Structure 1
Amino acid sequence: MYSTSYTAAPERPSGWFRRTEAWLDDRGKPAWIAAMILGFVLFWPLGLAILAYMIWSKRMFNRSACQGRNARNWEEMSRRRHHMFSAMRPSGNVAFDAYKAETLRRLEEEQEAFETFLQRLREAKDKQEFDAFMDDRARAARSTPPAAPQGDAPAPGAY
């Protein structure tokens, strides 16, 4: 009567080799290069095997084969850039464009006022910390007795 649909969990590679390969792919080409260098340091045939695998699987020279997380970040950045530039273009509706310009101007003024407020807050905190430091230093100077003069005076009973 009622059907429940479950989405299949993303298929994980089986075996340690496939898991390691997927892990390195997620981190991109720098991770593969680091693994290859580490392989050469630990045992040179291992480094050579990783290099051969990178060349054979086209991870070394193919730009899109081994981007992993970097590719997703690039796509996200591209999407954000597109939205940012499309927000700055006029829409064709004069009333909306005037409202948008006024709102952006007001937001910029509020941001500037907030940044000024934060700067004053930081300066007040810095002044408070400096005053507390100077008070502690003055209190410490008052509480320690003055040191005896270190001169050529003979020690008592030296005669």
Structure 2
Amino acid sequence: MHTTALIRPAWTPATIALMVVGFVVFWPLGLAMLAYILWGDRLDGFKRTMNGEGWFKNCSAKRSSHFGGGFNSTGNVAFDDWRSAELTRLEEERRKLDEARDEFDAYVRELRRAKDQDEFDRFMNNRKSRPASSEGSTEIRDPGV
């Protein structure tokens, strides 16, 4: 027994009526129905590609190895050993890079602190060397100008 769906991606009276009602009620619904009529026949192939041999086939295995730290065995002991050694080496390199970044951040902080200290010292020297003026005057002079 062969059954056909009432709403299928074709120009049937039901799909045309749904498209018109969709445009009357809320135009994006009508536009979605029009897209389904025109390109809906391609959805089966797209679903088969995505679910079967497509993009999401090994999604859970990749996610667990990326976030969980472990990985699934390939069945080849030599390759698994090599991969484990490479991942350990890469983790050591990442640790070294993180340490270098932390050292550089500390160096930049120290440079900024020294620059701030120098600017503060210049300000204080400029303030001390300024002649005493009336108390109401709060003029700020730039030592570099």
TM-score, normalised via structure 1 length: 0.44
Provide the TM-score with structure 2 as the length reference.
Answer: 0.47
